[in-house]
Amino acid sequence: MSTILQVRQIRKAFEHNPVLRDVSLELDEGQVLVVVGPSGCGKSTLLRCINGLEQIDGGEILLRGEVISGRRKNLHLVRQKIGMVFQSYDLFPHMRVMDNLMLGPVKALGKPKEQAREEALRMLARVGLADKAGVYPRTLSGGQRQRVALVRAMLMQPEILLLDEITAALDPEMVSEVLNVVLDLARDGMTMVIVTHEMRFAEAVADQVVFLEDGCVVERNPPEIFFHRPETDRAKHFLQSFDYAPRKRAAPPDTNTGEIQCAP
Ligand SMILES: Nc1ncnc2c1ncn2[C@@H]1O[C@H](COP(=O)(O)OP(=O)(O)O)[C@@H](O)[C@H]1O
Ligand SMILES: [Mg+2]
Beta carbon of 97 within 6 Å of any ligand 1 atom: no
> Considering every ligand atom, which ligand is closest to the CA of 163?
2
* Structure confidence by residue, pLDDT tens digits, 92-108: 999 999 999 999 999 99
User: What atom of ligand 1 comes closest to residue 46's alpha carbon?
Assistant: 17
Q: Is 39 in the pocket of ligand 1 (CB under 6 A)?
A: yes
Q: Looking at residue 258, what is its pLDDT?
A: 72
Q: Which atom of ligand 1 is nearest to the CA of 164?
A: 21
The fold of 3-241 is Rossmann fold (3.40.50)
Residue 264 has pLDDT above 90, yes or no: no
Phi first, then psi: what are they for 97, rounded to 5°?
Answer: -50, -50
* Stretch 105-128: mean pLDDT: 97
pLDDT at 245: 59
Average pLDDT, stretch 132-148?
97
pLDDT at 191 over 60: yes
pLDDT of residue 263: 58
* pLDDT tens for each residue of 208-258: 999 999 999 999 999 999 999 999 999 999 999 887 755 444 444 455 567
